[in-house]
Amino acid sequence: MRERQAAPKWLDRRIDPSVRDEVFEPAYHELLADHLARQRSRRTRAARIAAEFLLWLRIRVVAAQSLRLQSLRDGSAYGGTGMTSYWQEVRIAWRGLVRRPVFLVMAVLTLALGVGANAAIFSVVNGVLLEPLPFGSPDALVTLDARSTQGFPVSVSIPNQRDWHERNTVFEGLAMSSGYRMTRQSADGAEIVEPEIILGPFFELLDVAPLLGRWIGAEETVRGAAPRAVLGYGYWQSAFGGRADVIGETMALSGTVVEIVGVMPRGFGMPSPQVALYMPMGMIDGLPWDDRVSSFGARAIARLRSGASLASAQRDMDRVTQQVEAEDGRPGAHVEVRTLRAHFTGDARGPLFVLMGAVGFVLLIVGVNMANLLLVRGEGRRREMAMRLALGAGRGAVARQLLTESLLLTSLGGLFGLVMAYAVVAGLRAGLPLEPIVTERVSIDGTVLGFTSVLVIAIALLFGLLPAFRVTSASPVRELREDSRGGESRSSHRVRSILVTAELALALVLLIGAGLMLQSLGRLYGVETGYTPEDVLTARVSLPRGSAQDREQWIAAYEQLIERVRAEPGAANVAATLLVPLAPRSWELSVAPEGRPYSRTGGASVLYNIVSLDYFDALGVPLVRGRWFEPTDRNGTPPVAIIDETMAARLWPNEDPLGKRIAFEEADGSTDASPIPVFRTVVGVVPNIRHYDVRTPSRIQVYVPLQQTLERWGTSLSLAVRTTSSAPGFAPQLRAAVRAVSPDIALTDVRTLQDYRATDLGRDRALGVLLAGFGGLAAGLAAIGVFGVMSLLVSTRTREMGVRLALGARPGELLGAILSRTLLLAGLGILPGVAAAAALSRLLGVFLFEVAPLQPGVYGAAAALLLAVALLAALLPAVRAARVDPMTSLRQGA
């Protein structure tokens, strides 16, 4: 007779080998020997069967006692271990985790990606929307944005500020400020300094104490003010080495001696922390103090009185506008009151919410993946847990242990996620098109850490609870029955399939969002801007003060610069221009065709540009009709202009614009009451150039030759150079050439046209790139999920596959079965995914350019991509299924 192996199999796997040897095995053998010794004396079959049943019960009890002893020794959560401290549980959880390194790395990496993306985007949301601005009681600060009668945003004029300041009833005070450019002569040559010139209670409103010295008070900013300056922190550091004795010193700015009276602290800045210094507006010569319609880029800020709201402020300003209009007898600027934060964050709120939503989706996918991973892990321990429960362990204790593991995992993931977020935030600060004052507040601070902690705990509870619930709610009887069949339970597989389907649906939503945004970005890059931005370098030129006393000298100075730069190797075309497309500078005048009444404020607003002969070649603007400017178009010859197609169509629909005359400039001696318009003859027509932004066509445009400039002569122009090779590489040559003409000429804003376009499309690019990144991440995570489910399916059904193969199934059929199951899962995910994307893409609609939120092509492509990713992820398990060796699998399963 064959000898039977004594130790019962069902206990082998469940008890730690050391406990089995030391504790269980001797006790078990003792029981068995005792049983056998007595069995001989049992006469009836019934007595023997009853004794065997008793033995079985005793073995169960002995096993239970052994397990209990083991748990007491380990301190593991086996119920009733009151002395177990939480740290012991953490230690046990950690030991359990490092035993499965692949699971640990996968789970931590997945979590780190999800938490990292969330922490990074939240740090931007926090910096932009939540962190207070660096001013006293910043919530009461508002800006007053003016709009022209035609509805275009215009800057605030000095009389505007006076009117609003004196007549309002809702503000504690109202000030205005504007950027300005001055030249500071130093030993190193000319340096361009850009102070903020202020009028009214500017510092009083912002309410930030100076670091050194004092503010410039409202009474020191009025017309004829003494030249004083308050330094910004950055400029104080860079130009004065952060010296404390700088107060009372003087410096020469554009020929004026300016006294330094104060230094502002780090982080302060209006409109940006990069402002070098603040000076009174009243010290600047030649500002339009009494002209309501002349402005120079100034903005107004005010502080709401306590009790005043944004709405009441708006009503009050509407009343003031009407009052001024009635007194003035002509339409004035309309005022829009906005909070200072809204002014700085601009249209960032919408894209940020979209991004927050996107990373939320990524986090959901990560959570689902986590739940999936924990379920797989739970599978291996489910029967052990069920047995412990059957032996009297508290469900709470078992669940607590599982939750501790999940919390430990998510904490590790959160920690790595924060490290990743730290790196990403540095990139986001540089890459996101935000105001510097806002960018400064984007960082991983206490709020972000708190948010991440909440996130980590939420994931641990939410996605750790599911496996814990499944494990602790399992019925021991069913577990044993499923155990006898071997492999993963059917219900568990169903849960995992549902999770993967949900993952695929979420990933599809992100992929569709990314697809829509990328297509929109592609359309934006493909927009016909009217010029060729490649290989063009531009730079703004500031001539030394006093070097261009009259128009002829001014024209000659720029002609000389153009000639000198053109002599440089690599310069194909060189031109001077007042405006650079997409650069933040514009000049508008009111235009009237000959035969219609001319007025300075009525009529259509035209974008006015002064250009030298080579401008259209340098920018690659094609000629639609007529001719270019010629060297003969100089002062003394009939004034000429080139207009754009939009203007031609607007002013003379269905007529030939060539030879027609227009007025938008005035001769010397003009007054408000009796303007003397100058008529220019249209000699050429060019396409409309997108000047303000790539998305919208610009206002109608008119170009006048540099040599015939009437308005705006004396202003600083920009140089535009079309290069034969790399445009950015030409910058040193350009600087050298300009310095060769005069070392006192300052060059600023040395940028390529492509750079300006990149800045303009910054928001769309950032949104597109980030959404594409999150979409890719989501697809990758979903692929991991599919891979996991299919791998488990294959490994738990190896025996079934073996049987099928033995019965004559071909490997290709098994491969097909796995892949078709994947297709089914993906299909089930795609349907709700498409529906959710269709609902959510409407929110994305406002950011899309010439792309419908329900673009079928994008939906199809995203679904196809996801399907391909899912099939690819299932391919490896499928191939493994097809390669099952029937003999091996059957033997394993026996």
Residues that bind other proteins (CB under 8 A): 1-6, 22-34, 36-37, 39, 61-62, 65-66, 69
Q: How far apart are CA 511 and CA 770, in angstroms?
A: 11
Produce one character per residue of 446-463: b if its CB has 16 or more CB atoms within 10 Å, e if not: ebbeebbeebbeebbeeb
Q: How far is the CB of 35 from other proteins (least distance, A)?
A: 9
Q: How far is the CB of 388 from other proteins (least distance, A)?
A: 15
Q: How far apart are CA 730 and CA 684, in angstroms?
A: 31
Comparison of 33 and 872: residue with beta carbon closer to other proteins: 33
Comparison of 14 and 650: residue with beta carbon closer to other proteins: 14
Q: How far is the CB of 61 from other proteins (least distance, A)?
A: 8
Q: How far is the CB of 36 from other proteins (least distance, A)?
A: 5
| Structural contact between residues 510 and 863, judged by C-beta atoms closer than 8 angstroms | no
The C-alpha angle with vertex 301 and arms to 299 and 307, in degrees rounded to 5, equals 155
Q: How far is the CB of 18 from other proteins (least distance, A)?
A: 9
Q: How far is the CB of 27 from other proteins (least distance, A)?
A: 3
The C-alpha angle with vertex 167 and arms to 163 and 171, in degrees rounded to 5, equals 105
In the 3-class helix/strand/coil scheme, how is 42-75 assigned residue by residue?
Answer: CCCHHHHHHHHHHHHHHHHHHHHHHHHHHHHHHC
Comparison of 59 and 466: residue with beta carbon closer to other proteins: 59
Phi, psi of 303, rounded to the nearest 5 degrees: -120, 125
Produce one character per residue of 418-443: b if its CB has 16 or more CB atoms within 10 Å, e if not: bebbbebbeebbeebbbbebbbbbbb
Q: How far is the CB of 78 from other proteins (least distance, A)?
A: 14
| Distances, alpha carbon 876 to alpha carbons 356, 501, 788, 870, in Å | 34, 19, 11, 11
| Helix residue ranges, H only, 533-625 | 551-566, 615-619
Comparison of 3 and 528: residue with beta carbon closer to other proteins: 3
Torsion, CA 84, CA 86, CA 88, CA 91, rounded to 10: 150
Comparison of 48 and 319: residue with beta carbon closer to other proteins: 48
Q: How far is the CB of 823 from other proteins (least distance, A)?
A: 53
Q: How far is the CB of 377 from other proteins (least distance, A)?
A: 28
Q: How far is the CB of 777 from other proteins (least distance, A)?
A: 51
Residues in a beta bridge with 663: 592, 679
Comparison of 28 and 164: residue with beta carbon closer to other proteins: 28
Comparison of 6 and 839: residue with beta carbon closer to other proteins: 6
The C-alpha angle with vertex 563 and arms to 559 and 566, in degrees rounded to 5, equals 135
Comparison of 34 and 347: residue with beta carbon closer to other proteins: 34
Comparison of 28 and 558: residue with beta carbon closer to other proteins: 28
The per-residue DSSP string of 485-529 comes to H-SS-HHHHHHHHHHHHHHHHHHHHHHHHHHHHHHHHHHHHT---
Comparison of 76 and 889: residue with beta carbon closer to other proteins: 76
DSSP state of 245: G
Comparison of 72 and 461: residue with beta carbon closer to other proteins: 72
136 token code pair: 């006293």
What are the E-state strand segments in 543-619?
571-577, 588-593, 604-611
Q: How far is the CB of 396 from other proteins (least distance, A)?
A: 25
